Structure 1
């Protein structure tokens, strides 16, 4: 049952990305280009997502446990450390350069656009390299336990 709900959730999420224009890197780059051909339409997409998430979390946190699991999977660390800031910066730089973040890149894959075909393998290599670096302990924050 979890697989079915996971598939349906991913399908709705992917369709939302495509319909909203988030899977179109040109639209994303125009949104990020404040000094040029700025396109504010994605601000409405993000605002709608924020309201939806707020309502969803407000309802979910009233429950003792998730519907399809025994417990909530909540991160234990709440600190802002070097790996978090580094990852956020790399994510933002990649988003600004390529016009993609991971979800929209996957939804754009069926279009077989050259940018997608370059971005996705590069993203996967970056994820692999990040996991390797983290495994070697090179990204550990001071005093952080693994």
Structure 2
């Protein structure tokens, strides 16, 4: 869920129905204060995340625990990710926090402005967000082409 929303592991774990609203256009949103800083995260929910929430809507284990998703401990989740990386021969140390970085990187890659990403991640300023967002050569190249078009016009 972190990769789809940019939420930190603990924020996903603490998600409750009251954190969800629907706007006048029918878009589902998460409005949740971050556990770490209490800064409000405002996240439009992607269809893939809605499907994930729907999958566990009637899950007895989730209901018994008062959770929306069957989130194990962060340690256990990271152990699962390590196992997946080993099986798939991924030479990267996968963690739940890496999913948050992945979200920010993909958002930058697809042209989302850094100040909007900061709001989604619940950062108080964009300097914190810049640490998450890795700018790729493809992104740099795309932006240079845009400038080139302006200069030749």
Comparing both chains, which one has the higher relative contact order based on Cα–Cα distances under 8 Å and sequence gaps of 6 or more? 1
